[in-house]
């Protein structure tokens, strides 16, 4: 009963415009002080330990930073060029290329809004010039941008892994096939719509352009190789006898892989692409070579652009972690009150099977996604549904992917979908116009959600074949 | 869509503080990244690692976020739901803004008390009494200033702490009061920034404490490309 009051209070505070983090934190503190013997001092301690005690969450600032460096550099432009070279000649090619570019950028960044801003700001303008309607362009990017949290690396997956103690590496692998499937479904839908409505197609620019544009985008795309190779293993050399080149398995933790990715992204943006930092060409001039300005090897670390990017990454980390830290206090309340066990008991007594349970999870997340930032919602909902899922024999990795796909749909469902806001800003359209534009593709993602929910092998096959079968810990 | 208000430092002191805050955030994130990166490189090349590196990184992570929360209130960067507040009339919006500001102040006061209570024993200072709000100091509480961090070496310039709070006993490792000090400092800063924001709401210079999504700045720049 008191718990119901707790949730009513949280939603009430959210609706009058209290920051999400404060709504979660204050409601939980009041509950703890009124109904338990926890002291306010230990709440403050858990706020501190939310960061200092969660090694897995440390990956978040690093992935955010890698993504910031990749967004400031002209990586998005190069990826879009490569995508257009590959599929631009199909009917509706530019729209299909937009989806492909979103998929590739999602593999460099862990967040959906970042993907929409980076790809959308270029592709929407280009599509309008090529003769597409603005609505169609916005609808495509708004939906394809949600792949940012499904295709690894993904901040939401890091949060899920941290909240339920499953492996981040497994979650990342599990997102690969569903991510490609969702992208493919969107692309096929666009192609069919383009055939029916006779949308423009671009020119086939030849294999030379594909190779050239691929070489341009390669440095950026290599980031995903570093992350995946670091986590799952990569070839390496040794000099202590035995074969010189050998397979070094799983050398980094995901957190370390994220830090290496961030440093790599800085290096590529500053010294290879030179879109930012001391070697960047001013006002459209060609970038300088390192030989012309050798001191850049030092000044690059302290350049205004570097400082700005570090600061932007830090600011985003702060707003996300403020919510997550307070959501962790709420999680503490819920586990203290044994709410997950009560709900599990009630659901099992009601004779709930796995299928009805998954529908309930879908509904909870779709509603919750209306109010909450995705990572905060995962921190709260994951511990509630995780024990039930285990009892019903649902694979924890599969559950994680279902939750992520639900978050994706929540991002483009009115009235408060995150991607709708971002797209309406980027495309300079009203919210209602974006909602209408996104609607046909929202249908595609719903079909995708049903497929992912009831065909677990799509999510579990890759992680199980690379890392061995999941050992479920109860 | 947003609060319609952007923080611009006006006086030289405000500019200095603003720059300091932004630089501190950038520096802490940069240091965390480099420390973790260097540790990976050291393990690959020399099969060795800095034993204190991970603990320092995690402390920096905590400092970055705690310190940054106050900055977030200053520039109105924290996320919230503005679906309702955007629908209602202006006076109603103002009332809701004031109400949510009061709620944030209550939160900050509670966190400040909690932070002090948690940190004080580590610095051999008295925590406050009272369950909800401080009613006085608890002078009978036992100090725990002898608690040290797990791995971080004791830097020489902090040796004065041994006489000050540890009754002359020397520290082998950095005492815990040092990393934890960010809790009361940040909590006080958060309270201060929320009070400032509340005053701006009272004066009508801004009407809420929230933004609706994380990319609002970036979106504004991108929107310029798609203007009709």
**A285 or A184: whose pLDDT is higher?**
A184
- In the prediction, which pLDDT does A415 show? 66
- In the prediction, which pLDDT does B224 show? 61
**B74 or A354: whose pLDDT is higher?**
B74
Task: Report, as an integer, the average pLDDT of A94-102.
Answer: 92
Q: What are the tens digits of pLDDT across the range A320-341?
A: 999 999 999 998 888 888 888 8
Q: Kindly report the number of other CB atoms within 10 A of residue A147's CB atom.
A: 27
Distance CA A14, CA A46 (A): 22
What's the burial of B163, exposed, middle or buried (CB within 10 Å: 0-12/13-18/19+)?
exposed
Chain A environment of B54 (Cβ under 8 Å)? 55
- In the prediction, which pLDDT does B1 show? 36
Q: Do B111 and A25 touch (CB under 8 A)?
A: yes
| CA neighbor of A144 nearest in space, from A465, A455, A422 | A422
CA of B21 vs chain A CAs: smallest distance (Å): 10
CA of A339 vs chain B CAs: smallest distance (Å): 24
Q: What are the tens digits of pLDDT across the range B40-58?
A: 888 888 877 788 899 999 9
Question: Which of B57, B62, B100 minimises the CB distance to A18?
Answer: B100
State percent of chain A over pLDDT 90: 28
- In the prediction, which pLDDT does B216 show? 66
Chain A environment of B44 (Cβ under 8 Å)? 251
Q: What are the tens digits of pLDDT across the range A104-119?
A: 998 888 788 888 888 8
Question: Which of B29, B79, B80 minimises the CB distance to A313?
Answer: B29
| CA neighbor of A352 nearest in space, from A378, A402, A391, A380 | A391
Task: Report, as an integer, the average pLDDT of B113-123.
Answer: 92
Backbone angles phi, psi at A165, to 5 degrees: 60, 30
Grade residue A244 by pLDDT with cuts at 50, 70 and 90.
confident
Grade residue B3 by pLDDT with cuts at 50, 70 and 90.
very low
Q: What are the tens digits of pLDDT across the range A345-383?
A: 887 788 778 888 888 888 888 888 777 778 888 888 888
- Which whole-number Å values give the CA distances from B100 to A47, A458, B132, B226, in the listed order? 21, 45, 20, 35
Q: Do B219 and A117 touch (CB under 8 A)?
A: yes
**A51 or A109: whose pLDDT is higher?**
A51
Task: Report, as an integer, the average pLDDT of A74-89.
Answer: 89
Task: Report, as an integer, the average pLDDT of A431-444.
Answer: 87
Distance CA A228, CA A466 (A): 12
- In the prediction, which pLDDT does A48 show? 94
- In the prediction, which pLDDT does A35 show? 87
Chain B environment of A114 (Cβ under 8 Å)? 215
Instruction: Specify the DSSP element, H or E, that contains B41.
Output: helix B12-46
Q: Do A422 and B26 touch (CB under 8 A)?
A: no
Task: Report, as an integer, the average pLDDT of B116-133.
Answer: 88
- In the prediction, which pLDDT does B114 show? 94
What is the chain B residue with the closest CA to A427? B226
Token pair in block for residue A341? 């066990």
Question: Which of A13, A62, A114 minimises the CB distance to B215?
Answer: A114
What is the chain A residue with the closest CA to B55? A52
Token pair in block for residue A216? 């341009």
A133: Cβ contacts below 8 Å, ≥ 6 apart:
none
Instruction: Specify the DSSP element, H or E, that contains B101.
Output: helix B90-119
Name the most confidently modeled range: A105-119, B10-24, B79-93: B10-24
Residue in this structure with the two tokens 């499904």, named with its chain if needed = A150
Task: Report, as an integer, the average pLDDT of B142-154.
Answer: 85
**A186 or A199: whose pLDDT is higher?**
A186
Q: Kindly report the number of other CB atoms within 10 A of residue A456's CB atom.
A: 17
Least confident piece of the model among A240-254, B46-60, B64-78, B84-98: A240-254
Average pLDDT of chain A?
A: 86
Least confident piece of the model among A20-34, A78-92, A313-327, B156-170: B156-170
CB burial readout A150-187, b (16+ within 10 A) else e: bbbbbbbbbbbbbbbebbbbbbbbbbbbbbebbbebbb
A123: Cβ contacts below 8 Å, ≥ 6 apart:
A80, A94, A97, A98, A101, A137, A141
State percent of chain A over pLDDT 70: 97
Token pair in block for residue A201? 């197609």
Task: Report, as an integer, the average pLDDT of A265-287.
Answer: 81
Chain A environment of B37 (Cβ under 8 Å)? 259-260, 262-263
- In the prediction, which pLDDT does A474 show? 40
| CA neighbor of A168 nearest in space, from A57, A67, A51, A259 | A57
Contact B61, B183 (CB under 8 A): no
Task: Report, as an integer, the average pLDDT of B67-89.
Answer: 88
Distance CA A72, CA A179 (A): 24
- In the prediction, which pLDDT does B99 show? 94
Q: Is it the case that residue A15 has pLDDT exceeding 70?
A: yes
Q: Is it the case that residue B4 has pLDDT exceeding 60?
A: no
């Amino acid at each position: 009963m008191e718990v119901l009051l707790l949730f009513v209070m949280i939603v009430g505070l959210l609706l009058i415009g209290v920051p999400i983090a404060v709504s979660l934190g204050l409601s939980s503190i009041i509950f703890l002080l009124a109904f338990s013997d926890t002291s306010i001092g230990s709440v403050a301690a858990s706020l501190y330990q939310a960061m200092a005690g969660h090694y897995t969450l440390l990956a978040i600032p690093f992935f955010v930073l890698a993504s910031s460096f990749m967004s400031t550099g002209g990586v998005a432009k190069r990826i879009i060029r490569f995508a257009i070279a590959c599929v631009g000649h199909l009917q509706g090619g530019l729209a299909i290329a937009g989806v492909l570019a979103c998929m590739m950028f999602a593999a460099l960044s862990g967040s959906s809004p970042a993907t929409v801003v980076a790809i959308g700001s270029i592709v929407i303008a280009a599509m309008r010039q090529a003769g597409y309607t603005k609505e169609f362009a916005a609808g495509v990017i708004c939906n394809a941008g949600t792949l940012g949290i499904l295709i690894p690396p993904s901040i939401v997956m890091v949060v899920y892994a941290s909240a339920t103690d499953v492996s981040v590496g497994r979650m990342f692998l599990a997102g690969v096939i569903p991510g490609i499937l969702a992208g493919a479904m969107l692309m096929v839908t666009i192609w069919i719509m383009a055939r029916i409505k006779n949308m423009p197609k671009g020119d086939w620019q030849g294999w030379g352009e594909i190779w050239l544009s691929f070489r341009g985008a390669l440095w950026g795309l290599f980031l995903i190789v570093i992350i995946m190779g670091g986590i799952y293993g990569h070839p390496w050399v040794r000099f202590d006898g035995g074969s010189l080149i050998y397979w070094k398995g799983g050398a980094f933790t995901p957190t370390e892989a994220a830090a290496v990715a961030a440093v790599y992204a800085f290096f590529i943006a500053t010294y290879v692409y030179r879109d930012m930092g001391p070697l960047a060409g001013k006002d459209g001039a060609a970038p300088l070579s390192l030989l012309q300005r050798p001191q850049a090897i030092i000044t690059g670390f302290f350049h205004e652009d570097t400082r700005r990017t570090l600061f932007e990454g830090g600011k985003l980390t702060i707003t996300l972690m403020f919510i997550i830290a307070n959501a962790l206090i709420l999680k503490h309340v819920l586990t203290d009150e044994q709410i997950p066990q009560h709900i599990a008991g009630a659901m099992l007594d009601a004779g709930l099977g796995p299928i009805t349970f998954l529908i309930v999870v879908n509904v909870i997340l779709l509603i919750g996604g209306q109010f909450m930032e995705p990572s905060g919602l995962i921190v709260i909902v994951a511990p509630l549904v995780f024990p039930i899922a285990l009892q019903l024999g649902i694979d924890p990795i599969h559950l994680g992917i279902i939750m992520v796909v639900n978050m994706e749909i929540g991002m483009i469902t009115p009235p408060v979908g995150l991607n709708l806001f971002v797209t309406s800003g980027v495309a300079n359209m009203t919210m209602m116009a974006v909602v209408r534009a996104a609607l046909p593709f929202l249908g595609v993602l719903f079909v995708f959600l049903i497929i992912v929910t009831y065909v677990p092998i799509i999510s579990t096959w890759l992680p199980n074949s690379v890392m061995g079968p999941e050992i479920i810990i109860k | 869509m947003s609060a319609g208000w952007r923080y611009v430092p006006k006086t030289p002191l405000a500019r200095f503080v603003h720059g300091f805050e932004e630089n501190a955030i950038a520096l802490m994130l940069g240091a965390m990244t480099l420390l973790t990166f260097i540790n990976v490189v050291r393990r690959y090349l020399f099969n060795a690692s800095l034993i204190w590196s991970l603990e320092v990184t995690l402390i920096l992570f905590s400092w970055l976020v705690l310190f940054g929360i106050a900055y977030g209130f200053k520039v109105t960067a924290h996320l919230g739901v503005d679906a309702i507040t955007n629908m209602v009339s202006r006076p109603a919006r103002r009332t809701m803004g004031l109400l949510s500001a009061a709620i944030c102040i209550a939160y900050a006061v509670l966190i400040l008390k909690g932070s002090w209570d948690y940190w004080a024993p580590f610095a051999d200072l008295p925590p406050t009494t009272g369950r909800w709000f401080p009613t006085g100091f608890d002078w009978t509480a036992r100090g725990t200033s002898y608690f040290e961090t797990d791995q971080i070496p004791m830097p020489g310039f902090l040796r004065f702490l041994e006489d000050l709070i540890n009754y002359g006993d020397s520290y082998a490792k950095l005492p815990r009061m040092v990393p934890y000090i960010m809790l009361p400092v940040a909590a006080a800063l958060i309270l201060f920034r929320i009070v400032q924001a509340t005053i701006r709401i009272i004066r009508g210079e801004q009407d809420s404490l929230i933004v609706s999504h994380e990319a609002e700045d970036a979106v504004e720049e991108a929107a310029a490309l798609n203007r009709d």
